[in-house]
Amino acid sequence: MNNYFYNPELRKSSTILIALMIVFIACTSLLLKLHHDNLKEDYINVFGSISAKVAEKDPEMAREMIPLITKGIGEEDMAKGKMFLKEYGISKSLENELFPYLESTVLKNTYTFTIMVFILTILLFVFNYFQYGIFYKKLRRITQGAKKVVEGEYDIAISEDREGDFSKLAFAFNSMRGIIRNNINELQKEKQFLVDLLSDISHQLKTPLASMIVYNDIMLNKELTREQNKTFLLNNQGQLNRMDWLIKSILKLARIDAKAIEFNKENQSLNETIDEALEALERKALDAKVNINFKQDKEIEFKHDRLWLQEAVINIVKNAIEHTKGGGEINIDIEENPLYKRITIEDTGEGIPEEELPYIFKRFYKAKTSKKTESIGIGLALAKSIIESHKGIIEVESEIGKGTKFIITLMTGM
């Protein structure tokens, strides 16, 4: 019942119906008043004529009749009157035409009532036409909108500026349209993502596969010494290792970008995560004669997936090792405040040209000045995706000849 009174469409319809009922009652009251006035007029005409006739014959008798007309007649006199008239064949069973004054009154009242019913019928029809015309117009608009959505047009919007069920229906339709459009866009993005992924894998595997085919062809078709065969086999092994790392890295990146990985985030030591990442790079740093300094003044905890965040740190530090000359340093520092935890990785390497900084996190991007032919350019892209999956951001600052600084900011409570 409450919904009924709060529904503007029903309130409007009910208000119009009540207004029409009031008009009908007013017209009925007016018709009854006219009927009563006509009856009084007929009453006066009939009894006035009778009284006038009696007065001509007997004035005293006429004066006695006047109180009977105005005050009414007793049951006994009324019964005598009916019997008297019945002797002359006058009773209520006679046709209306035999009562001239009654006939005119009935005709006038019938015409008035017919006109009133006709007018009210037209009003009800007009009200019904416009009420349901508006109702079905709104339904057709929503139906047309749904048809457009099915046909792939998502820009159509149903506007309803009044409160009520149609407004709620329009809001639900617009929400549904937005959800469907977003889902379709997501599907298209995923489709394009798969196309790009396959293209990337194909492009990156083309070179090592071509090298392996050439090496195998030489070994099969030429007389080679044991040392030469070993050299080609070692080259093939290097290419296979490169392909293995490439495929695993691309698949990791693809799973993260496709949100197909459920990170096991726990509140744990950020210091230990970085320590374990640096242990994995200890041999590489020794071979490159690069010194890694990890400054940690206090224990810092952060909710993260240790293995995946280690992967990001390893890729960034590995990149720093590869671009730092022997005798150089890599300094790592962590800090915290109520808003975020921050990891800073700074090297004393060759640096990155300013114009290339916006592109270093793109997959397969290699700096024009890079001399590392084995570099693929996926490590930093993977690190960026992992950090962003932890609701963090990564920034880079660099100067040629002085080194590069990576700043990882992990927001607290996100």
CATH code where residue 351 lies = 3.30.565.10
Residue 351 carries which DSSP code? -
- In a shared domain, residues 100 and 8: yes
What parts of the chain have a pLDDT lower than 50? Answer: 1-2, 373
Does the pTM surpass 0.85? The reply is no
Q: Does a structural domain hold residue 156?
A: no
Give every CB contact of residue 84 below 8 A, 6+ residues apart in sequence: none
Q: What sign has the CA pseudo-torsion 372, 374, 380, 381?
A: positive
Three-state DSSP state, 288: coil
Do both 104 and 209 map to the same domain?
no
CA distance 260 to 256: 6
- Domain assignment present for residue 194? The answer is yes
DSSP string over 310-362: HHHHHHHHHHHHHTS-TT-EEEEEEEE-SSEEEEEEEE-S----GGGGGGTTS
Any domain includes 228: yes
N- to C-terminal Cα distance for the chain? 45
**One domain for residues 297 and 378:** yes
237: domain CATH number is 1.10.287.130
Last residue of a domain, one of 195, 229, 257: 257
Task: Note whether 402 and 373 are same-domain residues.
Answer: yes
Strand, helix or coil at 247? helix
- Widest CA span in the chain: 166
**Per the domain annotation, does 350 fall within a domain?**
yes
Number of domains observed in the structure of the chain: 3
Contact indicator for 412, 339 with CB cutoff of 8 Å: yes
pLDDT reported for residue 1: 47
> Does residue 7 share a domain with residue 146?
yes
Q: In this structure, are 68 and 128 located in the same domain?
A: yes
**Owning domain of residue 404:** 266-411
* Residue 180 burial class via C-beta count within 10 angstroms: exposed 0-12, middle 13-18, buried 19 and up: middle
Query: Within a domain: residue 160?
Result: no
Give kind and range of the element (H or E) at residue 330: strand 329-336
Q: Say whether both 274 and 379 belong to one domain.
A: yes
Instruction: Report d(CA 101, CA 103) in Å as an integer.
Output: 5
Whole-number pLDDT of residue 345: 94
Q: Is residue 33, in this structure, part of any structural domain at all?
A: yes
Q: Read off the tokens for 213.
A: 């085919």
118 and 172 belong to one structural domain: no
Indicate if 192 and 219 belong to the same structural domain.
yes
Question: What does the pLDDT read at residue 394?
Answer: 93
Token pair, residue 125, equals 């029809």
Q: Give the strand pairing for 392-399 and 403-411.
A: antiparallel
Q: What is the pLDDT of residue 373?
A: 47
d(CA 292, CA 347): 9
Asked, for residue 158, whether it belongs to a domain, the answer is no
**Whether residue 273 is found in the same domain as residue 318:** yes
Last residue of a domain, one of 240, 257, 274: 257
Residues with Cβ within 8 Å of 362's Cβ and at least 6 positions away in sequence, in order, are 377, 381
Tokens of 151: 């046909």
The answer on 300 and 371 residing in a single domain is yes
7 and 146: one domain? yes
